[in-house]
Structure 1
Amino acid sequence: MQKMIKAILRALGAINVKVADDGAEALKEMRTFPADIIICDWKMEPLDGIEFARMIRTGSDSPNPYIPIIMLTGFTEAGRVTEARDIGINEFLAKPVSPKSLYARIQGIIEKPRAFVRTASYFGPDRRRRQLKYTGPDRRQAEDSGQS
């Protein structure tokens, strides 16, 4: 899978692509390599993709907690997608991966970046994918006009 992803990235124009066998090795690489994006697999040993992402987002010694992360996995159950989102993954990509699907995720991260949110239990990109149109009264306008 690593060779295929690297080949796709090269075909898309990426020049410097670093590959790591697991999350621990990737963390080590990140300390010396200024990556623009991380593409990781859920299933890695000894440090899996979820723990790796958690360390990137919330670790006190994280080299870059704001770096975009795309999670690749064959585990596509709704609970897994939610778990990845709640760890701070930017994009989730189910295997098998196609060049088109990987390009679309990278393009989305670049063209529609989401603001980062910090709460007591979460740090990562805003988990809301869309803004729902508010249909209620605009109370701010009513409050402002009453105070003038």
Structure 2
Amino acid sequence: MVIQEPGAVEGPRFDLRDAKVLCADESSQGLEIVGQILMGFNVQTVMRAPTASEFRKVLGDKAFDLVLLDSGLGGNGFSENRWLRTSRLEPNRFTPVIMPASHTPKSQIEEARDCGANFVVAIPLSSAILLQRIL
């Protein structure tokens, strides 16, 4: 949702307070950075999954509007995304997935596409790029 405050000259402000986001990353620093970026977008509900098993458990318990799934989760985040897309977890299996990746060769981007990811973003993340991919 874009909020334009009366008389504001800064441009549009984004308010994603109602979005429910799942962040899955084995790195506590990665989870913290993504969480801080999302707080900057006013996201109020951010669930964190530091393992592949926790990722699967949380997806079975709650519906999300967005998933940020690190490509290295569980040694292969692509297989976790493939599992999500082929699961019967509705509506989560249709939720947009953004995959942060520390290495982004063409083969990895193709694998992300083939397993059902919507976007791949290079680490280190920038809030501007992440916001572009979310919107």
TM-score (norm 1): 0.67
Whether the 8 Å CA contact 1:71–1:92 is kept in 2: the answer is yes
Match of residue 5, structure 1, among 24, 34, 41: 34
Match of residue 52, structure 2, among 9, 20, 23: 23
Q: Which consecutive unaligned segments of at least 5 residues does structure 1 have? A: 108-148
Whether the 8 Å CA contact 1:53–1:88 is kept in 2: the answer is yes
Whether the 8 Å CA contact 1:57–1:66 is kept in 2: the answer is yes
Match of residue 87, structure 1, among 101, 115, 119: 115
Whether the 8 Å CA contact 1:24–1:52 is kept in 2: the answer is no
The equivalences for 1:1-148 within 5 A come to 1-45=30-74, 48-59=76-87, 61-63=88-90, 64-107=92-135
Larger Rg: 1
| Bigger RCO (CA 8 Å, 6+ sep) | 2
TM-score (norm 2): 0.73
> What is the percentage of aligned positions where both structures have the same residue?
28
The count of corresponding residues between Structure 1 and Structure 2 is 105
Q: Which consecutive unaligned segments of at least 5 residues does structure 2 have? A: 1-29
1:35 to partner: Cα distance: 1.2
1:26 to partner: Cα distance: 1.0
- Runs of 4+ in structure 1 deviating by more than 3 angstroms, as ranges, are none
Aligned match of 1:118 = none
Aligned match of 2:16 = none
